[in-house]
Chains A and B, each alone.
Chain A
Amino acid sequence: GDSVIQMQGQVTLSENDFLFINCTYSTTGYPTLFWYVQYSGEGPQLLLQVTTANNKGSSRGFEATYDKGTTSFHLQKTSVQEIDSAVYYCAMSNYAQGLTFGLGTRVSVFP
């Protein structure tokens, strides 16, 4: 079945540090890949969508890259701020099945 593996459970950074989160996926179909962010007390919201046709996406200073050869996709931000503290999920969509989420990475940024 479909799966998404997100290894980093927790990342602690200082402001202006570099953030990098990596995910790999497995599917038999043609997935669309996403990054969602969840702030405390809220539901997840879309941060970036990376389709297999385009290898990159960017939003709010975050950039997502996708490598079809290794079936991996990454999220990065050059200089994080305290407001970026949240849980970040990689996710994969395969038609009507809903989203398959990674385990989530809790990012804590300290001033």
Chain B
Amino acid sequence: ETAVFQTPNYHVTQVGNEVSFNCKQTLGHDTMYWYKQDSKKLLKIMFSYNNKQLIVNETVPRRFSPQSSDKAHLNLRIKSVEPEDSAVYLCASSLGTGVYEQYFGPGTRLTVL
């Protein structure tokens, strides 16, 4: 049963546009994450957000920014997309940090033309 919801499923856009992806979890978890999965299936952490504390992977370009209204929502905005941003973006949540299982959403596939 899905408990981490992502919208949209797919998004196609052109270089330079701004996009925003939504993520909502209904598990009552305190921590949420965004991961990027490239065409070779490589998964990399982008952000983690716990109790209003944001931890950013230092390799993430500044055009990416997470946005949270409450602990159940963590959206991802990309200010001016580049071709290398084409990937699947996966949202996840966990009860806390460290040893806890992470629950993933189905992902949003972004294609930048």
Contact = CB atoms under 8 A, between A and B. Distances in A.
Contact of A46 (B40, B41, B53, B102): B102
B97 A96 contact: yes
Contact of A98 (B33, B40, B105): B33
Contacts of B102: 46, 99
B98 A101 contact: no
B107 interface: yes
Contacts of A103: 40-42
A62 to B, nearest CB: 15
A109 interface: no
A101 B45 CA distance: 9
B71 interface: no
B55 A96 contact: yes
B43 A96 contact: no
Q: Number of contact residues on B: which range applies?
A: 20 to 34
A43 interface: yes
Interface string B69-113: 000000000000000000000101000011101111111000000
A44 interface: yes
B92 A43 contact: yes
B45 A100 contact: yes
A25 B105 CA distance: 26
Interface in A36-81: 38, 41-46, 49, 51
Contact of B48 (A32, A51, A87, A96): A96
Given A41-B106, A43-B92, A97-B55, A49 B101 contact: yes
A45 to B, nearest CB: 7
Interface string A87-103: 10100011111111101
A43 B104 contact: yes
Interface string A27-40: 00000101000100
Most buried by B among A41, A42, A43, A101: A43
A103 B57 CA distance: 18
A93 B99 contact: yes
